[in-house]
């Protein structure tokens, strides 16, 4: 007797194996996205700070405290991240749907039920 979330397996016994495969694909894809995001943010940010070394030294010479310089860099990084996130939201939703459709076509994921998308 199946109870709880397992009740769906009575009607779709193949759904469990698809779910495990989809979890593995999602986990690997999520890790790749995380690595790319960290490298994609850390590298340009460190390069920008290095290129602005003279400017930051000038700010320190005219009386800016290290805390003020760090805060300035942090605020710039946060504002840039917000703009980049806003610009990436729309294309990523379409790309996510496209990838999901390819997973359904490749029989890795179960097709969505009516009205779930």
> Can you give the pTM of this predicted structure?
0.54
Are the beta carbons of 77 and 45 closer than 8 angstroms?
yes
pLDDT tens string 20-38? 667 787 888 889 988 988 8
Angle of CA points 86, 29, 115, to nearest 5°: 70
Query: In degrees to the nearest 10, what's the CA dihedral of 7, 28, 103, 116?
Result: 50
Structure tokens at 97: 């749907």
Is it the case that residue 110 has pLDDT exceeding 90?
A: no
């Amino acid at each position: 007797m199946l109870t709880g979330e397992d009740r769906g397996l009575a009607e779709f016994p193949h759904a469990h194996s698809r779910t495990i495969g989809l979890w593995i694909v999602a986990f690997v894809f999520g890790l790749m996205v995380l690595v790319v995001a960290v490298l994609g943010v850390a590298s340009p940010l460190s390069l920008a700070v290095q290129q602005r070394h003279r400017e930051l030294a000038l700010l320190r010479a005219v009386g800016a405290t290290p805390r003020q310089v760090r805060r300035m860099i942090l605020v710039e990084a946060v504002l840039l991240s917000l703009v980049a996130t806003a610009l990436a939201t729309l294309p990523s939703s379409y790309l996510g749907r496209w990838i999901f459709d390819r997973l359904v076509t490749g029989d890795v994921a179960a097709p969505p039920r009516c009205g779930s998308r």
